Amino acid sequence: MTGAASTQKKVKIGLLLPYSGTYGMLGTSVDRGIRLAIEQRGSKLGGRDVEFVVVNSEANPGKAVSNMQKLISAEKVDFVVGPIHSGVAMAALKVARQTGTILVIPNAGLNVATRELCAPNIFRTSFSNWQPNYAMAKPAYDQGYRRIVTISWRYAAGTEHLGGFEEEFKRHGGQIVKQILVPFPSVDFQTYLTEIASIKPDAVYTFFGGGGAVKFIQDYADAGLKGKIPLLSTGFLTESLEGLGNRADGIRTTLHYADDLDNKYNIAFRKAFKDRYNDEAGVYAVQGYDSGLLLIRAMEAVKGDTSNQAALIEAMRKVKFQDSPRGPWTMSKAHNPIQNIYMSEVRGGKNVMVGTAAKALDDPATGCKMAK
């Protein structure tokens, strides 16, 4: 297609997200965030109308290649925005690398996406699994914790979340007395919680998200561990506190977003989200929103012309996120956010920001040639 022809057709955005299951809420939030950003700017990208093609990934890595092929070969989308799940990301990355389709990852933290498997056509607007977890290690050590049990799901995001924390915690002199991995997406936590109670560590460090996070907090309190063994995590654990009463109180988390971040862009974003969806925004909605900002600004810069991919990618690299609800951030050379990591604590059933754990934190981007 020539430049002129490619500026008249609709821009097609494929959304590869889970809309059901334990990560269903995450996919829905990203979907809402990206649509809100684009609607706020007249529902156009670089002057062109927009069409979304939605595929429910079901957070299922086994279906990821065929789902990607459907969007790319059958639907001929201009961009794929997805996925949420790091296992799905591994497969999506391979297809994006083979086909050259531009992939915008609005959540999945799979470290290699912006390390060894980084590529010009792969961008991430969320975080690497290493980033928020690394940031909790020193505060945990400074709090006096020395013996910690870690627990998560047995898949890339679980092991990478725990790994980011464990490596840095050990470097400070702490000890991981046990690492527990639960099959994904199982939420049968009782036996593991009994084991933790018998080990009596100084603290527990965990990663769970979506429905699994809510269930873990509930089971932790119901097993009598709340108030006895401090619970630390990334903010994904405490994203949804509805129905938990005071069970989550005292949980400390690190994340690249805080609900109550006091900046005018966050306040305006949360209000617009509430007005549009009658629901509270959270980190996943922010990541969807910033994916929208990335596409809006890059498409404006190239005046809607997707035919010159090198120019489009260059425009994407240069986008500034000074007005993101999470605070200002920039895209690293490996195409991953360089961003602040905030510390929050649950008090009275609400996440309350208590400080900044890391300023402008960049992923190490190990093995990414573009980052050199």
Binding residues vs ligand PHB (CB under 6 A): 26, 84-86, 107-110, 157, 209, 236
Residue recorded with tokens 């400070």: 172
Q: Is the dihedral of CA 17, 287, 214, 88 positive or negative?
A: positive
> What is the nearest approach in angstroms of ligand PHB to the Cβ of residue 100?
23
Amino acid at 37: A
Shortest CA distance to 46 belongs to which of 316, 336, 320, 301? Answer: 301
Least Å from the CB of residue 209 to ligand PHB: 3
Identify the CA nearest to 149 among candidates 211, 233, 84: 233
Cβ-based nearer residue to ligand PHB, 240 or 306 = 240
3-class DSSP assignment, residue 208: coil
When the beta carbons of 11 and 112 are compared against ligand PHB, the nearer one is 112
Residues in contact with 149: Cβ distance below 8 Å, sequence separation at least 6, in sequence order? 176, 177, 178, 179, 180, 196, 199, 201, 204, 205
Smallest gap, in angstroms, from Cβ of residue 71 to ligand PHB?
19
H or E segment and range at residue 20: none
Instruction: Output 7 or 254, the one with its CB closest to ligand PHB.
Output: 254
Closest to ligand PHB by CB, 23 or 141 = 23
Minimum Å gap between C-beta 153 and ligand PHB is: 9
Burial label, 262 (beta-carbon count in 10 A; 0-12, 13-18, 19+):
exposed
Nearer to ligand PHB, 174 or 282 (CB): 282
CB of 365 to ligand PHB, least distance (A): 17
**Radius of gyration in angstroms for the set of CA atoms belonging to the chain, rounded to a whole number:** 20
Find the shortest distance in angstroms from Cβ 84 to ligand PHB.
6
Q: How far is the CB of 160 from ligand PHB (least distance, A)?
A: 8
Q: Is 47 exposed, middle or buried (0-12, 13-18, 19+ CB in 10 A)?
A: middle
Q: Are 265 and 10 in contact (CB under 8 A)?
A: no
- For residues 235 and 304, which CB has a smaller minimum distance to ligand PHB in the complex? 235
> 45 or 108: whose CB is closer to ligand PHB?
108
